[in-house]
Amino acid sequence: MLGTIYALLFYVATALMVVGLAAKIRRYARTPAPLRIPTTPSPTTRKGVVLRMIREVVFFESLFKSNKWIWAFGWVFHMSMWLVLARHIRYFTFDVWWWVQIVQPFGTYAGFAMVAGLAGLWARRFLVERIRYISSPSDHLMLALIIGIGLSGLTMRFVAHTDIIAVKAFMLGLLRLRIGDLPADPFLMIHLGLVAILMIIFPISKLLHAPGLFFAPSRVQADNARDVRHVGRWDNEEGASRG
């Protein structure tokens, strides 16, 4: 019974996330950029832009220049999250891949760093007047949600172990469209439930910053206006009306 509920929840959540994100990305990609607006100084070539974006994604370069506290908390949170996510791959593959095994110890403790980073970000929402001013309830809830995921996960790992073998069997079953049983462990219920919520709201919340970053004209356009003509809507409209 529990297995069925969570199985359906995850199928629905996955579908909503994938379809929602695909629709958003498609929309971003199809919406024209009428003018060239890179924030300069900016790389002048495609290759330069790719390097810049790698620096943004890996190091949060602009944020580093901007605010060291937000950078420190945000960077620690995101990088830990990647480690934690990588560690979780072991529950979705029958044989654990070699690099997932290597990540395992780091990913385990990264859970703490992730929660610490999030806590830092949340504290700023209360302590820094400016950030308190711009925060809406959803900004607090988002942090609560992810911290909840982190804490429930850490609890299962370090305090109240869950039957992880059974969880893995359940997940492997899901991938093969076979609905198995899930241990009735409250922390597991919370953990998986919050993850499903996160997946569902991904395409309709500020989590869109993940795909959005790659479509922000100020960052991803090359500064080559004098070398490559940027064609706007006017060319197709009426080439003739030009004086």
Partner 1 sequence: MAEDIPNMEDALDIPCLKVGAMEGLKPFIAGADHQEALGFPGELVPNWKEKALEKMAEMAETNRAFQVYLDTCVKCGACTDKCHYFLGTGDPKNMPVARQDLLRSVYRRYFTFAGKYFPWLVGARDLTEDVLQEWYSYYHQCSECRRCSVFCPYGIDTAEITMAARDILAHVGIGQKYSNEIIGKVHTVGNNLGLPAKALGATLEDLEEDIEDETGVSVRIPLDEKGADILLVTPSADFFAEPHIDGLLGYAKVFHEAGVSWTVSSYASEAANFGLFIGNQDQMREVSLRIRKAAEDLGVKRIIFGECGHAWRVAYSFLDTLAGPFDFLDQNYPIPQHILEFTWDEIQKGTFKFDKSKNDHIRLTYHDSCNVARASRMGDEPGGQFEIPRNVIKSVCNNYFDMDRDTTRESTLCCGGGGGLLTDDLMDLRVKGASPRMTALQQVTEDHGVTHMAAICAICKTQFSKVMPKYGYDMDSILSVHQLVSNAIILTGQETDDAEEDND
Using DSSP's 3-state secondary structure scheme, residue 208 falls into helix
Q: Is 197 in the site for partner 1 (CB under 8 A)?
A: no
Site string for partner 1, 133-172 (x = CB under 8 A): xxxxxxx-x-------------------------------
**Binding segment (CB under 8 A) for partner 1, from list 6-14, 112-120, 144-152, 221-229:** 221-229
Q: Is 122 in the site for partner 1 (CB under 8 A)?
A: no
Q: Is 236 in the site for partner 1 (CB under 8 A)?
A: no
Q: Is 60 in the site for partner 1 (CB under 8 A)?
A: yes
Q: Is 18 in the site for partner 1 (CB under 8 A)?
A: no
Q: Is 176 in the site for partner 1 (CB under 8 A)?
A: no
> Residue 227: how many CB atoms within 10 A of its CB?
9
Q: Which two tokens stand for residue 141?
A: 């809830």
Q: Which two tokens stand for residue 234?
A: 């006017």
Out of 87, 90, 124, 191, name the contact with partner 1 by CB under 8 A. Answer: 124
- Give the residue carrying structure tokens 């711009």: 134
Using DSSP's 3-state secondary structure scheme, residue 39 falls into coil
**Binding segment (CB under 8 A) for partner 1, from list 89-97, 128-136, 160-168, 170-178:** 128-136
**Binding segment (CB under 8 A) for partner 1, from list 40-48, 97-105, 172-180, 186-194:** 40-48
Residue 50 CA to residue 48 CA, distance in Å, equals 5
Out of 2, 21, 70, 190, name the contact with partner 1 by CB under 8 A. Answer: 70
Out of 43, 107, 150, 153, name the contact with partner 1 by CB under 8 A. Answer: 43
Residue 184 CA to residue 171 CA, distance in Å, equals 15
Residues contacting residue 185 through CB under 8 Å, at least 6 positions apart:
156, 160, 162, 163
Q: Is 93 in the site for partner 1 (CB under 8 A)?
A: no
Task: Decide: residue 194, CB within 10 A, 0-12 exposed, 13-18 middle, 19+ buried.
Answer: buried
212, 32 in Cβ contact below 8 A? no
> Residue 128: how many CB atoms within 10 A of its CB?
15
**Binding segment (CB under 8 A) for partner 1, from list 110-118, 152-160, 178-186, 230-238:** 230-238
**Binding segment (CB under 8 A) for partner 1, from list 144-152, 153-161, 166-174, 213-221:** 213-221
